[in-house]
Amino acid sequence: MNELENFTNTTFRLDGRVAIVTGGASGLGAYYTKALLSSGASVLVVSRSKKGWETIQDFATAGKYLVAFYQQDITADGSAQAIAERAVAEYGTIDILVNNAGIQIRNEWQDFKDADWRKVIDVNLNAAYYLSHAVAEVMTEHDGGKIINIGSMQSFLPGKYIFPYAAAKHGIVGLTKAYAEALAPHNIQVNALAPGYIDTLMTKALQEDPVRSVEILDHIPAGHWAQPQELMGTLVFLASAASNYVTGITVPVDGGYLLR
């Protein structure tokens, strides 16, 4: 509360804060990690492989930021506890969690395999639930923190070729609300960021599809696909004291896609 009495741009700074970003070395997660680092936070990046670690390390070294890496499958038994313990061992506490790691599997509904349903729900929803739980136990020790879940347009819209993805991303909205209410008395804000159509490798095939790419672009009032950098400001806002009275919401960063 007190830190908001004299509001300045420094209210968005994250100096001295400790963050965990799952999937934080590649794809969109790398942009979240860079946004947090350059705002002053120390970051523990968690990912299954070491993809992107070197680039993030170089970024941190150049800016004199603190970053550490932990190779961990977030769906493995006991991984949530292990990640929280690793962050505390590295930096002493946890102030910010970004549940970003996600996968997508496409198929016709008749052909969806049970194992694929479980895999997507495990990474995109269950892991966020368990890790939020383990991290909240640390955050409640110092009464304060930020949990940011990553949704998508499928947090609001269907996806007939991506059943488990749509279910998990809708689930993220509910999980965000449930944790937001439960953790509010501990001054922990829980929100979600829902990216729209972003120019990434994941969407390359879609961008190159002559029919779908035109349909999508027609649907975006801003008139262009987002660059990943366009998500960074909202992420920092949700991670900072500037959003201390904001909790339980899912913020679309979509150029107005949901308006049409």
Minimum separation from the CB atom of position 191 to ligand NDP (A): 15
CB of 20 or CB of 241, closer to ligand NDP: 20
The reply on whether position 100 binds ligand NDP by CB under 6 A is: yes
The reply on whether position 28 binds ligand NDP by CB under 6 A is: yes
Q: Given candidates 73, 88, 107, 144, which one binds ligand NDP under the rule CB under 6 A?
A: 73
Residue span binding ligand NDP (CB under 6 A) among the ranges 96-104, 128-136, 215-223, 238-246: 96-104
> What x/- string results for residues 41 through 70 when contact with ligand NDP is judged by CB under 6 A?
------xxx-x-------------------
Q: Scan residues 182-201 and list those touching ligand NDP (CB under 6 A).
A: 195, 198, 200
CB of 167 or CB of 241, closer to ligand NDP: 167
User: Which residues are known to be catalytic?
Assistant: 165
The reply on whether position 101 binds ligand NDP by CB under 6 A is: yes
Minimum separation from the CB atom of position 48 to ligand NDP (A): 3
Instruction: Write out the chain in H/E/C secondary structure.
Output: CHHHCCCCHHHHCCCCCEEEEECCCCHHHHHHHHHHHHCCCEEEEEECCCCCHHHHHHHHHHHCCCEEEEECCCCCCCHHHHHHHHHHHHHCCCCEEEECCCCCCCCCHHHCCHHHHHHHHHHHHHHHHHHHHHHHHHHCCCCCEEEEEECCHHHCCCCCCCHHHHHHHHHHHHHHHHHHHHHHHHCEEEEEEEECCECCHHHHHHHHCHHHHHHHHHCCCCCCCECHHHHHHHHHHHHCHHHCCCCCCEEEECCCHHHC
Q: Scan residues 127-156 and list those touching ligand NDP (CB under 6 A).
A: 150, 152
Where do contacts with ligand NDP occur on this chain (CB under 6 A)? 22-23, 25-29, 47-49, 51, 73-75, 100-103, 123, 150, 152, 195, 198, 200, 202-203
